Each structure stands twice: as C-alpha cells, then as structure tokens.
C-alpha cells in the first residue's frame, strides 16, 4: 500500500492551505476545506475496512452515505497543515446511519473535523444535485471581500454586478454570480441550510461580515473562484472612494459572456 503522505489529494490540501494562509485568507484557525474523494483512489493508500474511530457529524447526510472526504480539522491552523498533515487533516467516510463519520486517517491528536462540517456536507449535497462533478467546498475569509461587505449593499445582484465591473474575466469566471447571506451565527445547521439553498443557484456564497464559501469540481476551480472574487473586491476597495472615469459596460459584459460561451445571469445586468 502506498504512503498516504504521497497521495495527490493530501498534497493538494497541504499546498492549498499553505497558500491560503500565505495570502491572508485564513488567519489563526479560520477557514475550512472539504474534498470528496473516489473510494478506489483512497484504497491505494488506506485500508478502507480499518476505522480508527467514529465521530458524530450533527447532521443527517443520507445522500452522502459511503462517500469519503478529506477535511481540515477544528481549531487547526492552516499554516501547520504542511508540516503535520496527519494532525491537522482527517479522512472520513459517512457511515451507514448518515449521521456518523468514520475516521480512516488523521486527527491523530484526538481531534475532529471542522465545526462547519454540517454546512460543508449540506453544500456538497446541494451542489451535487445540480452538478454531479462537484467535489470541493472551501470556506475562507479573504480580506478585501470581507472589507467590501462593510461598504457595499449586501444584495446579490448589486454585489455581483460590482464585481463583474472590476475585472474583464469576472463574468467569464463566475457567470452564475455570487449569492449573499446576511450576518448569521456560524457553526450551526441554520447557516448551513441557508448556504446550501444558495448553493443550488451559485458556486459562491458570501457570508455577510464573515467570509465566503466556494464550491467546484476540483481544488483549482474552487480556489480560482474565490481568488477571482478577492481580486475584484481588492480593485473595488482601491477605487471605491475615487471618481470613476471608466468602467466595463453591461453591453460589454454580454459581449464577453457570449464570446466565451458561458451561461450568465442576465437578470444581474442593467440592460
């Protein structure tokens, strides 16, 4: 059996968490990632019949029974993942009851998955209902995206439209727009349910005055979605107090979307 630390999915988690910490998106123990894996892929590195222990999830995920995820740990710092992945990450399988996680590897200090796991599982379920290839959910606190929450209306159409105006690539990268939730208490099922409902429509959901959730087919796509929003938010924050001389017009956004053949939210434009 191969060394689990050489597994591509472990390396992706190590590299991504390190990069997100470096960018300032995930201070202290802020942020979390869940990545759904193929059972056959994991079986190359772990004995799938060997369960280290079981952990209640606090949520019933019937449609995810038998699915395996690699998940960041609760209270863990992203900056430490690369040096000690077995403590800061865990590989879990949703058990037959749908409410228990079977630990297959990781959390070696007795820890457990992120407290946001129910929100992640709900988001995975929502995204899989509209895109069977969805595999990754990332939650982070990008600085400029968060700052924008305080000076811009938390309205999905307005928020998306402003981001689309900031960079030519934006309407191409996230043509489905950005969902927005007001401030809500985190770490419970209520915010998870609200996020999942938005995830049926959007791959990106802003948590007001908190951060952002992104979902995608792989780590690059999901990271790239958040990265593009953060770049657009940075440009907005650098220019919001200045008179705007130029902008990307709505007609030009349509031209972009059609040129790149993406299905965009026409109702988010002012035509």
pLDDT for res 187: 81
CA distances from 231 to 108, 127, 168 (A): 36, 24, 11
| Residue 261: both structure tokens together | 């053949």
Q: Which CATH superfamily is domain 116-271 in?
A: Class II aldolase/adducin N-terminal domain (3.40.225.10)
Query: Which of 151, 271, 220 lies closest to 12 in space, CA to CA?
Result: 220
Say how far residue 170 (Cα) sits from the centre of its chain.
17
Bridge partner residues of 113 (DSSP): 73
pLDDT in tens, 93-123: 999 999 999 999 999 999 999 999 999 999 9
Cα(first)–Cα(last) distance of the chain, in Å?
59
Top CATH class, 1-114:
alpha beta
pLDDT for res 198: 98
pLDDT in tens, 255-268: 999 999 999 999 99
pLDDT in tens, 180-212: 999 999 888 999 999 999 999 999 999 999 999
Break the chain into its structural domains and give their ranges.
1-114, 116-271
Whether the model clears a pTM of 0.85, i.e. scores above it, the answer is: yes
Backbone angles phi and psi of 111, in degrees to 5: -75, -170
- The residue written with tokens 């995206």 in the block is 145
Catalytic residue among 12, 102, 116, 165: 116
Quickly count: other Cβ atoms within 10 Å of residue 220's Cβ.
13
Residue 156 among the catalytic residues: no
Domain 1-114 and domain 116-271, same fold? Reply is yes
């Amino acid at each position: 059996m191969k060394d689990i630390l050489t597994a591509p999915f472990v390396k992706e988690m190590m590299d991504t968490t390190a990069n997100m910490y470096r960018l300032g998106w995930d201070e202290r123990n802020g942020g979390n990632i869940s990545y759904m894996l193929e059972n056959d892929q994991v079986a190359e590195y772990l004995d799938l019949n060997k369960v280290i222990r079981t952990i209640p999830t606090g949520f019933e995920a019937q449609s995810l029974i038998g699915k395996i995820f690699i998940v960041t740990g609760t209270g863990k710092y992203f900056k430490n993942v690369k040096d000690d992945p077995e403590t800061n990450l865990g590989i879990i399988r949703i058990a037959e009851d749908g409410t228990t996680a079977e630990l297959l590897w990781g959390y070696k200090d007795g820890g457990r998955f992120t407290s946001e796991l129910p929100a992640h599982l709900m988001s995975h379920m929502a995204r899989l209902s509209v895109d069977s290839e969805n595999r990754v959910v990332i939650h982070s606190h990008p600085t400029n995206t968060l700052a924008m929450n305080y000076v811009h209306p938390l309205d999905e159409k307005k928020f998306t439209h402003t981001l689309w105006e900031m960079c030519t690539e934006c309407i191409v990268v996230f043509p489905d727009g950005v969902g927005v939730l007001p401030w809500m208490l985190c770490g419970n099922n209520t915010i998870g349910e609200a996020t999942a409902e938005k995830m049926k429509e959007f791959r990106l959901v802003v948590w007001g005055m908190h951060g952002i959730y992104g979902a995608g087919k792989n780590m690059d796509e999901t990271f790239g979605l958040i990265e593009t929003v953060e770049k657009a938010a940075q440009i907005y924050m650098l220019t919001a107090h200045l008179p705007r001389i130029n902008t990307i017009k709505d007609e030009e956004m349509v031209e972009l979307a059609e040129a790149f053949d993406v299905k965009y939210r026409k109702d988010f434009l002012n035509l």
